[in-house]
Chains A and B, each alone.
Chain A
Amino acid sequence: MSATILEQIPGLGDDTRRLHAPVRLALLALTVLVSLLLFAVTPLQGQADFVVFVVVAFAVVQTATSFALEGRRHALDRLLSLGVHLALLAAVVPLVSVLSYTVYKGVKKLDGQFLTHNLTGLGPLDTNGGEYHAIIGTLEQVLMATAIAVPLGLLVAIYITEYGTGWLVSAVRFVIDVMTGIPSIVAGLFIFAFWVIGLHRGYSGLAAAFSLTILMLPVVVRSSEEMIKLVPAELREASYALGLPKWKTILRVVLPTASAGITTGAMLAVARVTGETAPLLLTSFITPATNTDPLSGKQAAIPTFIFSQIGLGRPVNYDRAWAAALTLIALVLVLYISARLLTRRNTLSRR
């Protein structure tokens, strides 16, 4: 009885005629062989062309075989699953290659001496020197920007989701949306005109931090807002029903519940601005010397370090730039992982 029902459903009836993995491998091998032959005897050539040709040919061959053997549904399934896997590959390959190429190029110069020295007193041909001053600058600038943007952004998000009503919320939202679209060079230009020149403060790490804050703020607000909205109403009501006032409900229930998401959003904002170059050129500028005081004077940063090194164009400059790029990636990674660990600890053992 059940067998007849199964047979009536196309593609379900006969499960013995399937394209098993070895068969598909054989098909792939066959496709590669035939393609090699074709590339040898016909005018077809080129490595990239070959790869594309094989992929398309394999898709056609497999789908056709599957259609003949397994039926329409399986054929479609195989085609789509091949497509999805190719898309995954297309997404991952550039990421992995950027990372691995940076590591490959960067490790050459990245050593203790590179991490602990600056570029003062070096001639254009010297191969020593390092990015100590740039690391200090980036850490200080990003830290200050985070210290301003994250609390401020969180407060704005809390206002929008919990307290605001009517046109004021729409106005705040609109401003935040507009801020999201500000090109980073414009943020730098604004601080340059307003702070560096306008208020005669000159270049400084603080000015750079201000311009980074402008870029971070909308990201922090938007992501925190979404995360706060995700906290179920039932949890708030449970808290209200215990007699917790609204502000305590937000502080003790809503924010802890949303903290992992808020941290992720904040870290994305940090990661985004850590590599910003354009605004720094207008606010902290470039210097070969170490400046630990973020409040005054030019200050180096890793992105501007890379920029200025590439501009000099000798092999040693390229090596320094790659090493600095690797440091930048590592820095973002360390920040991200430590933030995740921090929230994990907080959510699990709050007492």
Chain B
Amino acid sequence: MSKRIVAEDVNAYYGSAQAIAGVSLAIEPKSVTALIGPSGCGKSTFLRTLNRLHEVIPGARVEGKVLLDSEDLYGPGIDAVAVRRTIGMVFQRPNPFPTMSIRDNVASGLRLNGIKNKQVLDEAVERSLRGANLWNEVKDRLGKPGAGLSGGQQQRLCIARAIAVEPQVLLMDEPCSALDPISTLAIEDLMTELKERFTIVIVTHNMQQAARVSDRTGFFSLEATGEPGRLIEIDTTEKIFSNPSEKRTEDYITGRFG
């Protein structure tokens, strides 16, 4: 079910501007990997290279290799659409489809795989909503628009939508930054549950969150504005937060950055 990701010398560009340079790291299956670092250092960009979403931006391109259990996602003959079906993503701001009901939002990914059987869809919807800890709150109004939920509920709806297609990997880009502490806690608990089944990569600005939920933590930074972002180090979360090998990591974590 869950797979290991290895990035080898990944460079990403927006037009002629390079956003990240030479990122190599390994993401272990059935674990939570947190990516931290100052704003603009390319965490989101790197995350989006992992499911080939970076390239949908006009002029954007990626160099390097991203291996999903030894298969290069950027290899010849690999379909970006198929990659995105295997690697799900949750965005910073909740973005449920406004024209669809709660049920349809969750089922939207499955429908494309040709699943039309109503019973199968309904089961998947319930399973995913339970998985996202949202079922009890919405089970009586599955036909209502997804946009009518609170921000925290919408984000959990987006998580349900992402896990409904049973991806191998779940990418989360600051999934809690728009949420209150209680919703945040709910989603953190959820991550701990979900890592039994998925490989999870989360970008966060919240050190405590990284320390609470992740098994490994990677620190990104950039030398100066205008320079591409780089991976400074990646290690077990415990090591990064207690005894990082790089001075810059320590400065950032203890708040002496910049």
Give the B-binding residues of A (Cβ under 8 A).
Answer: 232, 234-245, 248, 252-253, 256-257, 259, 346-351
Is B95's beta carbon under 8 Å from chain A? yes
B19 an interface residue at 8 Å Cβ cutoff?
A: no
A238 interface neighbour in B97, B104, B143, Cβ under 8 Å = B97
Main secondary structure of the interface of A (DSSP, over half): helix
A244 engages B112 (CB within 8 Å): yes
Whether A241 touches B101, Cβ cut-off 8 Å, given contacts A252-B108, A348-B145, is: no
Query: On chain B, which size bracket covers the interface?
Result: 20 to 34
- Whether, in the assembled complex, B51 has its beta carbon less than 8 Å from a beta carbon of chain A, the answer is yes
List 10 contacting pairs A-B, 8 Å CB cutoff, sorted by A: A237-B91, A238-B161, A240-B81, A241-B84, A241-B88, A241-B91, A242-B85, A242-B108, A243-B84, A256-B99
> A244 contacts B95, CB within 8 Å?
no
B165 in contact (CB, < 8 A):
yes
Name the distance in Å between A300's Cβ and chain B's nearest Cβ.
41
Are B93 and A245 within 8 A (Cβ)?
no
Residue among A235, A348, A350 making CB contact with B95, cutoff 8 Å: A235
Q: Is the beta-carbon distance between A242 and B143 smaller than 8 angstroms?
A: no
Query: Which one of A241, A242, A252 has the highest number of Cβ atoms from chain B below 10 Å of its Cβ?
Result: A241
Shortest CB-to-CB span from A165 to chain B, Å, is 9
Q: Name the 3 nearest CB pairs between A and B, nearest first.
A: A243-B85, A242-B109, A241-B89
Given contact pairs A236-B56, A240-B81, A241-B88, a sample of 20 additional A-B residue pairs in the complex whose CB atoms are under 8 Å apart: A235-B95, A235-B97, A235-B98, A238-B91, A241-B89, A241-B91, A241-B162, A243-B81, A243-B84, A243-B86, A243-B109, A244-B108, A245-B112, A256-B97, A257-B97, A257-B98, A257-B99, A349-B101, A350-B104, A351-B101
Cα distance, A234 to B155, chains bound together (Å) = 13
B53 pairs with A241, CB closer than 8 A? yes
Nearest CB of chain B from residue A107's CB, rounded to whole Å: 41
A235, B154: Cα distance in complex, Å: 13
Q: How distant is A229 from chain B, measured CB to nearest CB, in Å?
A: 14
CB of B99 within 8 A of CB of A242, answer no
Residues of A within 8 A of B84 (CB): 240-243
Contact A238:B158 (CB < 8 A) given known A253-B97, A349-B143: yes
Q: How far is the CA of A252 from the CA of B165 in the complex (A)?
A: 17
Whether A240 touches B53, Cβ cut-off 8 Å, given contacts A257-B99, A259-B99, A349-B143, is yes
B108 CB contacts on chain A under 8 angstroms: 239, 242, 244, 252
In the complex, are the beta carbons of A234 and B93 less than 8 A apart? yes
B53/A237 in contact, CB under 8 A: yes
Question: Chain B residues with Cβ under 8 A from A248's Cβ?
Answer: 112
- Among B51, B86, B100, B112, which residue has its beta carbon within 8 angstroms of that of A350? B100
Residue B178 CB within 8 A of the other chain: no
Q: Residue A242 contacts which of B100, B112, B145 (CB distance < 8 angstroms)?
A: B112
A12 to chain B minimum Cβ distance, whole angstroms, is 36
Inter-chain contacts of B56 with A (CB < 8 A) = 236-237, 240
Q: Please measure, in the bound complex, the distance between the C-alpha atom of A241 and the C-alpha atom of B89, giving whole angstroms.
A: 6
CA distance A248 to B98 in the complex (A): 16
Q: How far is the CB of A240 from chain B (nearest CB, A)?
A: 6
Give the chain B neighbours of A346 by CB distance below 8 A. 99
Residue of B nearest to A253 (CB): B97
> Which single residue of chain B is at the shortest CB-CB distance from A232?
B95
Q: Considering the chains assembled together, what is the distance between the CA atoms of A238 and B85 in angstroms?
A: 12
| Alpha-carbon distance A191/B60, docked complex (angstroms) | 46
Q: How many whole Å from A160's CB to the nearest CB in chain B?
A: 14
Residues of A near B109 (CB, < 8 A) are 242-244
CA distance A245 to B100 in the complex (A): 18
Across-interface contacts of A237 in B (CB, < 8 A)? 53, 56, 91, 95
Measured between beta carbons, the chain B residues less than 8 angstroms from A257 are 97-99
Is the pair B51, A245 in contact by a Cβ cutoff of 8 Å?
A: no
Q: CA of A242 to CA of B88 in the docked complex: distance in angstroms?
A: 6
Q: In the complex, what's the smallest C-beta–C-beta distance from A166 to chain B, in angstroms?
A: 12
Question: How far, in Å, is B96 (CB) from chain A's closest CB?
Answer: 8
